[in-house]
Amino acid sequence: MTDHTDDDFFDDAKSEFPDKEDLKDRLVAIFAIGPVGQRKSEASGKAYDYVETVTVVLDNGPDGTSHSELVPEVEGLPVVLHGFQWSASGVVARTKPRVGTELALRPVVGRINSMPNRRKGFSDAWSIAEPTDDDRRIVRDFRVSLLKIRDDIVAARERKDDLEPEFA
């Protein structure tokens, strides 16, 4: 048996995880893998939908400065966020109908944006903007990576029944 120190035996849990703010102005490809669920707002108690996704970050924003510690710079390969849950209504509206269909294997592509809420006192509204022709060129540059991610999603679906862990 190999002797290990604690540091190579486990990873510390992180207190923070990526959020939509870490993706503002960035070009993303969103695979809507599900599940879909609901949570209650802490502020109002009102229920809101969320969709679990594989969100693929394809650039660092139009000016190259939109990145964070939690979602680092895209440098040659995309940044892939597995299990990223979107609750922004503009993103949910575009992704929720895809869950469980073959459309889930075609990512929704665009830039994450926000704008002031029409209702005074409410937080900003978040959505995904239609890609420009330049954005579409960037997506095409990542075609091989996106097809690999799609293939990984298909393989994970096929393995779902085989996920029972075996312990020696």
Q: Compute the average pLDDT of residues 99-127.
A: 89
- Cβ atoms of residues 161 and 125 within 8 Å: no
Average model confidence (pLDDT) across the chain: 88
Can you state the percent helix, strand and coil of the chain, rounding each to 5?
30, 30, 40
Q: Compute the average pLDDT of residues 51-73.
A: 94
More confident residue, 157 or 13: 157
- Cβ atoms of residues 125 and 117 within 8 Å: yes
Neighbours of 87 (CB within 10 A): 16
pLDDT of 26 reads 97
Strands ordered across the beta sheet of 27-40: 79-86, 47-57, 27-40, 108-115, 125-129
Q: 104 in helix, strand or coil?
A: helix
Global pTM value:
0.85
Closest C-alpha among 166, 146, 156, 123 to residue 28: 146
pLDDT of 161 reads 57
Backbone angles phi, psi at 101, to 5 degrees: -120, 170
- Say if residue 167's pLDDT is above 60: no
Share of the chain above pLDDT 70, in %: 91
Q: Compute the average pLDDT of residues 41-56.
A: 91
pLDDT of 162 reads 59
At 2, the pLDDT band (50, 70, 90 cuts) reads: low
- Say if residue 38's pLDDT is above 80: yes
